[in-house]
Structures are given as C-alpha cells and as structure tokens.
Amino acid sequence: MSTSAKTYGDPETRRRILDATWELLEEHGSSIKLAEAGDKAGVSRQAVYLHFGDRSGLLVALVDHIDRSLGSVRLREHVFGAPTGVESLRRWVDTMAWYTAKINRVSQILEGAQHEDEALAAAWRNRMNRRQDLLHQHVTERIAAEGRLAEQWSIDDAAALIYVITMPGPWRELTQELGWTPEEYSEHIWRLFERSLLTNTTQ
Amino acid sequence: MSTSAKTYGDPETRRRILDATWELLEEHGSSIKLAEAGDKAGVSRQAVYLHFGDRSGLLVALVDHIDRSLGSVRLREHVFGAPTGVESLRRWVDTMAWYTAKINRVSQILEGAQHEDEALAAAWRNRMNRRQDLLHQHVTERIAAEGRLAEQWSIDDAAALIYVITMPGPWRELTQELGWTPEEYSEHIWRLFERSLLTNTTQ
DNA sequence: CGTGTGCTTTACGGAGTGTAAAGTAACCCT
DNA sequence: AGGGTTACTTTACACTCCGTAAAGCACACG
C-alpha cells in the first residue's frame, strides 16, 4: 500500500504548499483556512484543492511530509542502531526530548483534528503504530534479551509504557506547562524508566 | 471570580441541554452542532444560545457540569483523605483507572478544541491546574514527609510525573489502543510509580 | 388584567468548505 | 508555426454551520 498514486502537479509547488501549511500551523496553532495555506505558498486556493483534494488530504500529506523533512529515517537508524537495547532506550528518550519539540504544535493540532477527520486519524494512527513496533522490537525485546528487564514486567507492558510516556502529550505538558527544559525531560524520563523497568546494576 | 453570574432561564432546561451535549459528544465523538444539542434536549437551537451565549460557553459550562455530575468533591475526599501519602497515590491511580474512562471522549474532544477556543482552554487548564496542586499537596509532599520519596526525586518532579502519566492521554492510549483493562492500568501504573518514585520497603 | 419569564419561530449575514467550469500561460512535439 | 498538454488562475455557486436579531406565544404571578 501507499505506493504514491502519482500526485498532481508540480512537486515543487506541492512542497511549497505543505511547508506553508506547516508554518501556519506552527504560527497561530489552530486549524488553518485553506485560502491562507494557498496565499502563503503563493498559489490560489484552488491549487490547494487540485493538489490535495480537500483539507483532509492536505493534512494527511503533511504528516508524511514532516517525517521526510525531519529525516526520520536517519533518526531511526541512530536510535535503534544502538549497540544495546538499554542504550537504544537512552537514545530514544534523548531524541524525543528535541524531536517532539519540533513537531509539538502540529502534532497537537493533528491529534485534535482526528475526530473530525477519519483519514487523518488513520494516517496518524499508522504513524504511531510504526513507532510502537519499533520500540517493541528494537528496544524492549533487546532489553529483555540482555537480561536487563526487571522481572515484574512483560515485554509488551514495558513497551507500552515507554511508548505512552514518550508521546507528544506528556512531553507537551512537562515542557510547555510545567517548564521542564529538554535536558530535564531527558534526564527525568530516563531515570523513571531506569528505576522502574530495568534491573539494578549499580551494585 | 466565578461566583456564578446568575445563569439564564430554567436550571432544569440548562441541565438537560448540558446532559444532551455530553451524550452527543460520547456518541459520535466529534465536535457537535448546536442544533443537535438543542434537539436532543428537546429545545430549540436558540434556547441553547440563550442559556450559554455560544458554543464556547456551552463547552465551558460542560466542563463544570461533568465535574459536579461525577461527584468530584466526594472523590477528592476519598483519594486525598487517605491516611498516608503513599496510600493516597494508590487510591489516585485506582480512581483514575475508572474516572478517566467516564470522561474519556469528552476530555479528548475538549483537549482538541482548545486551539480554536480560548475560553475553553482556560477552563480546561484551570481544572488541570487544580488537579496538579492537589497531587502536589496531598500526595507528593506527604510521601516526602513520610520519608518514602526516593532520594533522586524532588517533590516537584515527582508530582509532575504523577500528574502527567495519569492524564487522560496516556490512559486513552493504554486502554483504548493497547487494550489494557482498568485493572491492568491500575496495577501497572502503580507498579511504575512504586518502583521509580518510592523507597524500597520490601526488605 | 397586565407584566415578566422562558422559550419558539422566522429571518438574515457571514465565514469557510468543496465543486464546477472557463480562461491563460508555458512548454513540448513534430 | 500550430496543436495539444500541463499547471495553474479566476470566477462563480451551493451548502453548512455559526451567531444575532426580533417578533410571537404561553404560562405563572401579582
């Protein structure tokens, strides 16, 4: 699936519209008007419809666009290519501390729009499921294989907790509302995981 | 502030509209139309405007209405009136396991609507700030006073983590998407807190 | 009997979405 | 050079929902 069904028009224009949409969401972090997106990209409102069909199509495309723009592939390689599962978890937390900062506004809006927009919900869910799988396979399973998973936890449960706690929601609350710095976020979340999920090696 | 500026009309009608709105949000979990809310309550669309001014007013009132309906006061007494801070935390986690289930859909929608609606955002924030304060005072501070807070943590940081992890977002993801039962939620979150935040007493 | 309260009914303006269709400018091919 | 294709623009319109306004109605209360 998702073998790019040949997108309409000039890819460069398409990219400009997506970037404009992204910027607008960041700026006045509310659901944008399609006319604005077009204006900011230097095209007519109709061009937006030609490229993306409707609002839903635009937002779904944006999810993908953001992933590409932030070089998610390379990030994944760095995080999940760590020598050990424990180190991979460490890198995951560190990475989320700044990565989530970049997609914060957008993720907040897209999460909120899911109720009005089924296609968007599917796209977002898909993205998050992939994240879950990666954490399961490359982090939690390896930690267990290394004998570092505290005995109380199943692999599934540990993976679920890591996934949930490092989602944008908690990050947003901790850094935006409670004033944690990225360093504090990274440090404290890591400590939380280390103490609760891992076996003690500070003997 | 908020000394009830004398609400319009029959309180019974007002209540019916709020209940109808609540039910509608639960049913087809998206942002409702004001006409629907009126219909379901057996009044005209205009009546909704007379009672609440606009959509924003309706939703803000709903936040309050839900709190009252679920007997939040009694709940608070039970949770925060526990003999010890540790027991209070235990009760908090247990309570959130089912309480969040009741407000899940609504909280999701209200969270999502915050970007479009400043007044609603303020009301929601206010509600969450109160929750934070209560956790800080009646749970974390007492745990620290009892000497049960693990030395690595400041009272603020522990309170922040408890608050954030027991928010609706993580609950939703764990129970709705990952299939945890309320019992599993309660058990696992408690274990997470116990292992990471508290001193070991299983000597 | 008249006045106020609580709501209904009808009406209208405005914003934003999505669709349709005709026009334009550049390029591409032979 | 002419004809077609591509990538848009422009204009226009129907639709939905919001919010406001104003007149009407029914009933209770004095």
Paired tokens of B16? 């019916």
User: Which pair of tokens denotes residue A190?
Assistant: 């890591």
| pLDDT the model gives residue A129 | 97
Average pLDDT over residues B121-135: 96
Do A164 and B152 count as a contact with CB atoms less than 8 A apart? Answer: no
| Chain A touched by B35 (CB under 8 Å) | no
pLDDT of residue B202: 60
Q: Does the CB of A15 sit below 7 A from strand D? A: no
pLDDT of residue A4: 52
Which three-class secondary structure state does DSSP give residue B197?
helix
What one-letter code names the amino acid at B126?
A: N
Q: Which residue has the tokens 């629907």?
A: B36
Is the pLDDT at B85 greater than 80, yes or no? yes
User: Does any CB of chain B come closer than 8 Å to the CB of residue A122?
Assistant: no
**C-alpha–C-alpha distance, residues B24 and B157, integer Å:** 38
Please judge whether A116 and B31 are an interchain contact, meaning their C-beta atoms are less than 8 angstroms apart: yes
Mean pLDDT of B111-123: 92
Q: For chain A, what's the residue count?
A: 203
Q: What is the mean pLDDT of residues B143-149?
A: 98
CB-based contact A25:A32 (threshold 8 Å)? yes
Q: What pLDDT is stored for residue A1 in this prediction? A: 47
pLDDT < 70 regions, chain A: 1-5, 202-203
Mean pLDDT computed over every residue of chain A? 95
Above pLDDT 90, what percent of chain B?
90
A8 CB-to-strand C distance under 7 Å: no
Tell me the whole-structure pTM to 2 decimals: 0.94
For chain A, say whether B160 makes contact (Cβ under 8 Å).
yes
DSSP assignments along chain A, one per residue: --------S-HHHHHHHHHHHHHHHHHT-SPPPHHHHHHHHTS-HHHHHHHHSSHHHHHHHHHHHHHHHTTHHHHHHHHHTSSSHHHHHHHHHHHHHHHHHHHHHHHHHHHHHTTT-HHHHHHHHHHHHHHHHHIIIIIIHHHHHTT-B-TT--HHHHHHHHHHHTSHHHHHIIIIIS---HHHHHHHHHHHHHHHHBPP---
Q: Which of B11-20, B29-38, B46-55, B144-153 is predicted least confidently?
A: B29-38
Strand C lies under 7 A from the Cβ of residue B93: no
Which residue type does A93 have? V
pLDDT of residue A165: 98
CB contacts, 8 Å: A165 with chain B = 165, 170
Protein residue closest via CA to C1' of D9: A44
The mean pLDDT value for B147-160 works out to: 98
